[in-house]
Amino acid sequence: MTDHDIRVLDDSQYRAAHALFRGTLHRAPTPDDQWKYVQESYEPGRALGAFADGEMIGTVQSFPSTMAVPGGAVVPHAAVSRVGVRADWTRRGVLSALQREQLRAMRSAGDVVASLRASETVIYGRYGYGVASRYRSLRIDRHHAAPRTRPAGRVRLVEGEAGERIARELFEELSPGRTGTISRWPAWWGLNVRRRMADENMKIAVRSGASGDDGYLVYKVEPGEHDPGDEKPTTLAVLDLWARDAEAWADLWLFVLGIDLVVEVTASGRPVDEPLQWLLGDRRACRMTDEYDETWLRLLDVPAALAARTYREGEPVVIGVRDVYLPENSGTYRVAAGGVTRVEDGAELVLDVDVLAAAYLGDVSFSTLAATRRLDVVEAGALRRADALFAVDEVPWCGSYF
């Protein structure tokens, strides 16, 4: 018998839930002048609370979205966020109860996959989330970058609502597109762009080519000292950059590198295969400062998820899946170039649903997962076949923080 219960929250409880969540991150509640942006991001029926003795002791939420999977299909996706349990109630089953209820609700609502960004990486594997994409952080010495080329189009600054509108329209054209990219819900823009434009001196630049607007950049500058020898350089942070093609992408980066009185350029959340160094005369001016896990993916409906993506040509493989929290996913699946079938055959590879999620978008191979003892190999030749079937041309990347 548990000493807490899980309920769907209504709008009168959102602020308390958000304050609880921020408290688990050791942050103060959202100020009154910022609350309207947060309030807009709560979707009816998608926020849960755990209660004990009439008090909220935990919460979790998701945003409605879609995700691109290998082959170009787009599936219903839940973006999970604001997960927290009050410090005096941790390690008493509250988070597990919230996760169980949320996973069941998202699947019942028709979401095929869910994803989150993990504050602590040891938490979410037990609930079926696996690391399915990565991103990198960069630091560029602008004075030594020496770009090899000049802009081909025009990049202009666009202020206020007009800048946000153009950026949003371009993003919605471009994502979901690349494997792992997601759609952004309307309140994402209020929280991450409109709110911050006023308080953080953020700017939006739009690139135009022969066919019109084809890329945008959101950035902010942290002023430093401009005298030689000063230890606080002026830094430009690239926050969001999307382009329709390579020409627009290059022009946006050339614009960044051409802004005067900037010493360092930083960028986080960028694709691991972004070829920025090749744009520079001195490639050592660009350093990768870190690489992080990005998308923690959860397959809510394994048959639907496996059926949604495409596979390379190759011999079939039979995969056995274990899922403790959504046992209807547990079973054996024959994966072939032409599709996926649920079967009663003996499995050649056996794995938990978080491991399947890690391999699903193509960022990691089954052979790598087997080498690190993350799955059971019944038939040795199955690894080669699974690697071939699940291979992708481009590493997955999301590019949207939530």
User: Each residue of 297-335: pLDDT tens digit?
Assistant: 999 999 999 999 999 999 999 999 999 999 999 999 999
Residue 398 domain-assigned (yes or no): no
CATH of the domain at 368: 3.30.1050.10
Q: What average pLDDT score do residues 64-80 get?
A: 98
**Residues 342 and 266 occupy one common structural domain:** no
- Predicted confidence at residue 198, as pLDDT, reads 75
For residue 201, what pLDDT is reported?
83
The pLDDT of 371-386, averaged and rounded, is 98
pTM of the model: 0.95
Is there a single domain that holds both residue 72 and residue 207? no
Are 170 and 243 in the same domain?
yes
Give yes or no for residue 292 having a pLDDT over 90. yes
Mean pLDDT of all residues in 356-365: 98
Q: Is 359 domain-assigned? A: yes
Residues 359 and 212 in one domain: no
Q: What is the mean pLDDT of the chain?
A: 96
**Assigned domain for 20 exists:** yes
- Domain boundary residue among 270, 292, 314? 292
* pLDDT band at residue 360 under the 50/70/90 scheme: very high
Active site residues: 124, 402
- Pair 254, 148 in one domain: yes
What is the arithmetic mean of pLDDT over 39-64? 97
Residues 287 and 330 in one domain: no
Site of tokens 């590879």: 349
- Quickly state the pLDDT bin for 199 (edges 50, 70, 90): confident
Torsion of CA 293, 297, 298, 303, to 10 degrees: -140
- For the chain, give the percent of residues with pLDDT over 90: 95
How confident is the model over 56-60, as a mean pLDDT? 98
Its sign, for the CA torsion 271, 273, 276, 279, is negative
pLDDT class for 125, splitting at 50, 70, 90?
very high
Residue 295: the pLDDT is 98
Are residues 353 and 264 located together in one domain of the fold? no
* Tens-place pLDDT, residues 205-252: 999 999 999 999 999 999 987 666 667 889 999 999 999 999 999 999
Based on the domain organization, do 30 and 62 belong to the same domain? yes
The domain in which residue 56 lies consists of 5-111
What value does the mean pLDDT take over residues 122-150? 97
Output the 3-class SS for 252-315: HHHHHHCCCCCCEEEEEEECCCCCHHHHECCHHHEEEEEEEECCEEEECCHHHHHHHCCCCCCC
Which pLDDT value is given to residue 336?
Answer: 98
Domain count, the chain: 3
Question: Averaged over 2-29, what is the pLDDT?
Answer: 96
Asked if pLDDT for residue 1 goes beyond 70, the answer is no
pLDDT tier at 350 (50, 70, 90 boundaries)? very high
- pLDDT the model gives residue 229: 63
